[in-house]
Amino acid sequence: MSEPCIVALGGGGFAGEEGGLRRFILELSGVERPRVCYLPTAGGDAAEWIQLVRERVAGMAELSVLTLFHREVSDIAELLLSQDVIYVGGGNTANMLAIWRLHGVDVVLREAWSRGIVLAGVSAGANCWFEACSTDSFGPHLAPLNDGLGFLAGSFCPHYDGELLRKPTYERWVAQGVLPAGYAADDGVGLVFRGIEPAEAVSEVADGRAFRVEPSGPRALAVRRL
């Protein structure tokens, strides 16, 4: 059994044009052609995103997809616990968490994590692993969410450089105690957690940044270029 591993991506991911983070996550499995399950729940199980991910990982992995709006899998645990990597797409964090809990996906994901199946995701798919996050789930404006899965302590903010208000809003919420201290990542950057501790930050783009954000302010983390 491998050590539990989570990769939280600020932006990009499996559907992105850059391939560095995609290859990195697949290689973390230690399997030449890993079994990967894609959870597109946050994006409403959109067919175009599913097709794009299929195209991006073609020849690199054996891909399965767990859809919940039109559910075709009767035994979710059997599917997810047979994977080497579980990848969660972006979209609406709050809706995704509610749907997962209704179908029991949250419980199975915790078991998968404990077994050492690599968990990864972008934006909403990164927010979900933490206790709290910055999200646009509730309308056009950013809002705090304090109802994450809580596999990892603290909060997360994706798109730190990709959306104008993400950085100042998140830093203000942490300073005010609205959100607990946590981590932030630029688009194209991934934070790797081994067990419950941060292990490293990696980037598939030049000058990609990651931060530890405390009430006193942000602290830049070392980032390894892939």
**What's the half-sphere exposure (Cβ side, CA atoms, 13 Å) at 44?**
4
Q: Which helix (H) or strand (E) holds 138?
A: none
Contact 155, 176 (CB under 8 A): no
Q: Which of 134, 137, 155, 159 is catalytic?
A: 159
- Virtual torsion, Cα 135, 14, 31, 34, nearest 10 deg: 100
Q: Which amino acid, one-letter code, is at 110?
A: R
Q: Which residues are CB-contacts of 151 (< 8 A; sequence separation ≥ 6)? A: 6, 109, 110, 113, 119, 129, 130, 196
Contact 157, 166 (CB under 8 A): yes
Helices (H), the chain: 20-28, 47-57, 76-80, 93-103, 105-114, 124-127, 166-176
* Pairing assessment for the beta strands 182-185 and 210-214 based on DSSP bridges: antiparallel
159 flagged as catalytic = yes
Catalytic residue (one of 123, 134, 137, 155): 123
Query: Which residues are catalytic, by number?
Result: 123, 159
